[in-house]
């Protein structure tokens, strides 16, 4: 059945036809909700509400626009209402100043839902541009925009909708859309690095990336702080949400790693993965009680050339299952 036939069947109450009708759009809509909200959990909730609203409103869809445009209109407005009800998502760098003493114990985590979350791999079919649009730096920059500016920039620049389509979806004038887009560009450009992670990864090549990933895994599992420090940029940053503390500078980051996670008294296993289109790793820590290595955290690398510019460690063990990583590794 083609889209026209599926639409007709779904309008007649066919739930299976509705599922098949929306199947080609689910992954891209979910990524859209993530860009808007900065949270995998919030994106999933927004997706469920989008699907419910689409099902209920299908009879009123008059096909003046494409089905894709109609679905994005619903999803965007669901996200805008979500943003009104909760604080923006950030990373520790935008929450508090850097900690200067790498020997001090970390304070309690901030348990409120304010932290940006990592996003799983988009899959081999994802385009270069799609991967760029979920990079940590870009999604973090989006969260600082007012909600409608955020929506305008994503709809125009990421998804390629026309100014008229965006104006219709957001019930704005074309002039207001243009003005919002200009302001959004200025604000986001101020927060983005000169080079995207996709461009950096492409310049490294497969062999260079594989060597960096293998070296990171080996150094972490051996608790070789010197080997890790050699991979850090001079002004590298280490952040660990939900803890607000973060550290800046190769020597400071290395000192913190040596004082806490990589003392040599803890056994680690590390599995490579991809998050936000960037190299990432599931970290597992040995548990005598479990008799196995258990999920502990997920780290994401932001690279500058062949050096690590930022190490973002999400200290949320359940995250690992979202990346198709196991909950535990047997010895």
Bridge partners for 268 per DSSP: 285
Spans of the chain, pLDDT less than 50 = none
| pLDDT at 207 (0 to 100) | 97
CB-CB contact of 56 with 13 (8 Å)? no
| pLDDT at 124 (0 to 100) | 85
pLDDT digits (tens, 9 = 90+) for 75-110: 999 999 999 999 999 999 999 999 999 998 888 999
| pLDDT at 234 (0 to 100) | 98
| pLDDT at 111 (0 to 100) | 84
| d(C-alpha 109, C-alpha 160), whole Å | 39
What is the residue whose two structure tokens read 């689409």?
A: 54
Q: How many Å is the maximal CA-CA distance in the chain?
A: 65
| pLDDT at 161 (0 to 100) | 96
| pLDDT at 125 (0 to 100) | 87
Nearest to 313 by CA among 243, 252, 210: 243
Task: Give me 19's structure tokens.
Answer: 């599922």
Domains in the chain with CATH codes: 1-86 (1.10.1740.10), 197-329 (3.10.450.50)
pLDDT digits (tens, 9 = 90+) for 198-231: 999 999 999 999 999 999 999 999 999 999 999 9
Q: What is the pTM of this model?
A: 0.96
pLDDT digits (tens, 9 = 90+) for 164-189: 999 999 999 999 999 999 999 999 99
Q: Who contacts 145 (Cβ-Cβ below 8 Å, separation ≥6)?
A: 153, 184, 187, 188
| d(C-alpha 316, C-alpha 318), whole Å | 6
| d(C-alpha 310, C-alpha 92), whole Å | 12
| pLDDT at 280 (0 to 100) | 98
Half-sphere exposure of residue 86: CA atoms within 13 angstroms, side-chain side: 19
CB-CB contact of 149 with 286 (8 Å)? no
| d(C-alpha 280, C-alpha 314), whole Å | 11
| pLDDT at 63 (0 to 100) | 83
| d(C-alpha 322, C-alpha 314), whole Å | 13
In this structure, the number of other CB atoms found within 10 A of the CB of residue 85 comes to 6
């Amino acid at each position: 059945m083609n889209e026209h036939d599926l639409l007709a069947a779904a309008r007649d109450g066919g739930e299976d036809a509705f599922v098949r009708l929306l199947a080609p759009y689910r992954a891209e809509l979910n990524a859209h909700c993530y860009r808007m909200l900065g949270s995998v959990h919030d994106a999933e909730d927004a997706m469920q509400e989008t699907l419910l609203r689409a099902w209920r409103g299908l009879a009123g869809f008059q096909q003046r626009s494409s089905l894709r445009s109609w679905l994005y209109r619903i999803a965007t407005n669901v996200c805008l209402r979500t943003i009104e009800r909760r604080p923006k998502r950030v990373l520790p760098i935008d929450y508090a100043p850097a900690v200067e003493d790498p020997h001090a114990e970390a304070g309690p985590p901030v348990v409120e839902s304010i932290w940006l979350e990592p996003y799983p791999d988009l899959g081999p079919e994802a385009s270069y541009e799609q991967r760029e649009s979920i990079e940590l730096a870009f999604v973090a920059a989006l969260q600082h925009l007012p909600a409608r500016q955020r929506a305008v920039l994503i709809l125009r620049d990421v998804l390629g909708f026309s100014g008229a389509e965006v104006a219709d979806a957001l019930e704005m004038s074309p002039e207001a859309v243009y003005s919002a887009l200009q302001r959004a560009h200025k604000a986001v450009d101020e927060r983005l690095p000169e080079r995207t992670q996709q461009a950096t990864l492409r310049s490294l090549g497969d062999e260079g990336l594989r060597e960096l990933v293998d070296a990171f895994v080996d150094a972490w599992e051996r608790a070789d702080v010197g080997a890790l420090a050699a991979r850090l940029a001079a002004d590298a940053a280490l952040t660990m949400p939900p803890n607000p503390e973060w550290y800046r500078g190769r020597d400071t980051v290395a000192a913190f790693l040596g004082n806490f996670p990589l003392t040599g008294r803890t056994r680690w296993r590390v599995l490579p993965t991809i998050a936000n289109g960037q190299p990432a790793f599931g970290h597992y820590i040995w548990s005598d009680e479990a008799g196995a290595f258990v999920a502990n955290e997920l780290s994401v690398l932001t690279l500058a050339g062949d050096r690590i510019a930022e190490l973002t460690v999400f200290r949320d063990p359940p995250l690992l299952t979202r990346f198709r990583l196991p909950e535990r590794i047997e010895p």
